[in-house]
Amino acid sequence: MQIKAEEISQIIKDQIGGYETEVNLKETGTVISIGDGIARVYGVGNCMAMELLEFPGGVMGLALNLEADNVGCAILGDVRKIKEGDVVKRTGRIAQVPVGPAMEGRVVDALGQPIDGLGAIETEEFLHIERLAPGVIARKGVHEPCYTGAKAVDAMTPVGRGQRELVIGDRQIGKTALCIDAIIAQKNSDVHCIYVAVGQKKSTVALVVEALRKNGVMEKTTVVSACASDPAAMQYLAPFGGCSMGEYFRDRGEHALIVYDDLSKQAVAYRELSLLLRRPPGREAYPGDIFYNHSRLLERASKVSDELGAGSLTALPIIETQAGDVSAFIPTNVISITDGQVYLEPNLFFSGVRPAVNVGLSVSRVGGSAQVKAMKQVAGTLRLDLAQYRELAAFAAFGSDLDSATQAKLTRGERLVEILKQPQYQPLPMEKQVTILYAGSNGFLDTLPVTALADYEQELYNYIESNEPSIFTDLVKEQVFTDPIKEKLNKTLTSFGDTFKATKSLN
């Protein structure tokens, strides 16, 4: 093979002609002070708000304060690797998280990096942590139920797809348990779940993950964890990151449920960051924009219009109160943003009513729009009976000379309170909830002792599934108590009641 000089010269000419000079300019700055998880960086004049900056050792920082001569930056990693004089590089990337189906079944940190030891997450899609909430025109009224599986909630403070229902109460009275049950209740639905743990102990998050795995919902759930030992910046960002992961499904016409556990700790983390960045403090030392922090997060939960795919993102934010003080700064802020609240009361919890929902103080501003007709039929009488019971129970404590009508109301009320109790990790589908509430509201339980009702309820479901399964299937199909369903259910409740009394020797 002969080499031709003309061909070689032509190749060289072509390469020279196609050569372009590229200078890789990266804007860099210098750390002028570092401490308490905050770095002051000089020299990154074109830095954007919420931009990620790269410090030595691969540690990332988030630009929060853009001042005249420096940038205040929250460190998202080990602050001990950074010292004064270090070179800082701009990444040009606004803080973002990976999203998509690959995130499901994983435990990730606030930036979407896996922390469960199951390897890297394979996804090409990313969304910014801070995104604009859908506008008024892009939204649609909340009209589909999002079942929590808790009778006390689904009957009297119903949650709809796209709603924001606050779960509020003191520490250790079942707020997380109620929300975990709501996630477990989505096992056979088309709802994707995100659980955001802010400022929790790592052992607590591990127990939650184990509970979700044991109940078979972990494969459709993403757990975003910013534990108590993580930097304040990570605790502040975790709810926003989790929300973006939920919005991915909403924007594709699917449905998602997100639990923020809890926003009190996120507010404390944001206060810490703000004070360290020398932002002026306001009431209770919180920064002036603490309300905006929560409103821009919770407004992102929405039911979007049919033109945009009719997807939804439902939020269950949790707020911890101190000694039942719902009039404190953060609780009143979040109550005013959300579409209602489920109030959990310590007195009820310690007297054995669990979930400890105070049905008098709890409210849903969406109400019946988020209920099927069958639930509305039983919930209307239930709320009235319970209200009368609460009123009369106070008077009954003073004396025993009560007329028969009052006695009957007290008897009914006691049994309704009892059937609203529910064990943890046992959410009920709609058809089972309306069946037991129908039995309670229509007097089928009035002759039974209160102590036997837990057994009665469990055996009733088994009896219907074995002998009259069409009751449950018809309720799921019709979603209303038609005359044939009522007739069949009345007959079944009567025959089962007689059998139950006979087997338990209750006559």
* CB 130, CB 50: distance < 8 Å: yes
SS3 71: strand
Distance CA 272, CA 36 (A): 10
Q: Let me know: does 340 contact 370? Beta carbons within 8 Å.
A: no
The widest CA-to-CA distance across the chain, in whole angstroms, is 121
Q: In what order do the strands lie in the sheet with 312-320?
A: 107-108, 221-226, 191-198, 255-261, 312-320, 166-169, 340-344, 363-364
Residues 99, 242: contact at Cβ < 8 Å? no
The catalytic residue among 365, 390, 412, 415 is 365
412 is catalytic: no
47 DSSP 8-state letter: P
463, two tokens:
């009896």
The amino acid sitting at 250 is R
DSSP 8-state symbol, 349: H
Residue 306, SS3 per DSSP: helix
Token pair for residue 298? 């919770």
Q: Quote the CA–CA distance of 85 and 72 in Å, as a whole number.
A: 15
Separation of alpha carbons 462 and 276, rounded Å: 59
3-state secondary structure at position 59: coil
| Closest to 424 in 3D by CA, of 174, 192, 202, 209 | 174
Cα 350 to Cα 190: distance, rounded to the nearest angstrom: 35
User: From residue 116, how far is each of 1, 51, 205, 434 by CA, in Å?
Assistant: 60, 26, 11, 39
- DSSP for residue 257: E
The secondary structure of 153-220, three-state, reads HHHHCCCECCCECEEEECCCCCHHHHHHHHHHCCCCCCEEEEEEEECCCHHHHHHHHHHHHHCCCHHH
For residues 342 and 358, give the distance between their C-alpha atoms in angstroms, rounded to a whole number.
Answer: 8
CA-to-CA distance for 239 and 245, rounded, in angstroms? Answer: 10
Q: Give the CA angle between residues 330, 336, 339 to the nearest 5°.
A: 120
d(Cα 428, Cα 468) in Å, to the nearest integer? 18
Active site residues: 365
